[in-house]
Amino acid sequence: MNRYSVAEFIRKTEQEDKGEGFFELETERLLEVNLEGLVWAKAGAMVAYHGKIKFEREGVLEHGVGAMFKKALTGEGASLMKANGHGKLYLADSGKKIIILHLQNEAIYVNGNDLLAFEPSINHNIKIMKKVAGMMSGGLFNVRCEGTGLVAITSHYEPLTLRVTPGKPIFTDPNATVAWSGNLQPDFQTDISFKTFVGRGSGESIQMKFEGDGFVIVQPYEEVYFQRQS
């Protein structure tokens, strides 16, 4: 039954402090950041906050001239923002499920569209998927997150983690690939035989190939990306 009095609805859905620290899942699709300083987040992900918090888009020279050119090539120069201050910040992204990972001197690559937030102790670097740039209309970049701290990523529905082991490569659809371990460098390939069945603009099936020892996280959903118009 989904019928409540106003008082019942408030009791059922109101914010609750769970004592989980810096990142806290209010629901599986809404992240609470207990902010006492700085957090990096996906631009546009703020849904509410209270306290004194200032928002600032990531500057084009934030990480040097090289990063500026990468951002220009990806068309995602304002994909991240900094939230600085004290209070509670609530983040979400299109109703996607949120996963909090605690990196311990580790690295992970995250699809640029699936990175929600991370602590300032995490170093981040945008990586362009050069080999796929001419094959897809968007989703051309990922972010390498490295260090010790919390990273929040998003997934449409329940994610699946696949182990990559030597001699047994894993192939994934780029539109369904959320993240992978920092030691893996995927290759891109096309399968012409799939062209009849796949509604891609290129008429080909584009696949990511992961080889080595690590993991890759996929979602049961093909996310479609759009390049920002200049």
Convert the pLDDT of each residue in 47-103 to its tens digit: 999 999 999 987 654 554 445 444 444 444 448 899 999 999 999 999 999 999 999
pLDDT of 138 over the 70 cut:
no
Stretch 98-122: mean pLDDT? 95
Spatial contact of 92 and 48, defined as CB atoms under 8 Å apart: no
Output the average pLDDT for the chain: 83
Q: How far is CA 68 from the centre of its chain?
A: 20
Question: What pLDDT digit, counting tens, does each position of 182-218 carry?
Answer: 999 998 887 766 555 555 444 457 889 999 999 999 9
Q: Between residues 222 and 61, which one has the greater pLDDT?
A: 222
pLDDT of residue 153: 96
DSSP H helices in the chain: 6-13, 65-74
Q: Is 70 helix (H, G, I), strand (E, B) or coil?
A: helix
pLDDT of amino acid 30? 97
Specify the pLDDT at position 226: 46
Confidence band, pLDDT 50/70/90 cuts, at residue 230: very low
Predicted model pTM: 0.83
Beta bridge partners of 127: 142
Q: How far apart are CA 122 and CA 135, in angstroms?
A: 31
pLDDT higher at 74 or 144: 144
Q: Distances in Å between the alpha carbon of 84 and those of 37, 41, 54?
A: 5, 11, 5
Which residue from 202, 214, 103 is spatially nearest to 161, judged by alpha carbons?
Answer: 214
Task: Write the single-letter amino acid at 71.
Answer: K
Q: What is the pLDDT, as a whole number, of residue 225?
A: 56
What's the rounded mean pLDDT across residues 171-186? 93
Could you report the per-residue pLDDT of 146-163, keeping only the tens digit for each? 999 999 999 999 999 999
Q: Look at 135 and 145; give whichever has higher pLDDT.
A: 145
Q: Walk me through the domains of the chain, giving residue ranges and CATH numbers.
A: 20-218 (3.60.160.10)
pLDDT of residue 59: 62
pLDDT in tens, 14-30: 877 777 789 999 999 99
- pLDDT > 70: what percent of the chain? 77
Residue 149: per-residue pLDDT: 96
Confidence of residue 122 (pLDDT cuts 50, 70, 90): very high
Place of tokens 């390939």: 189
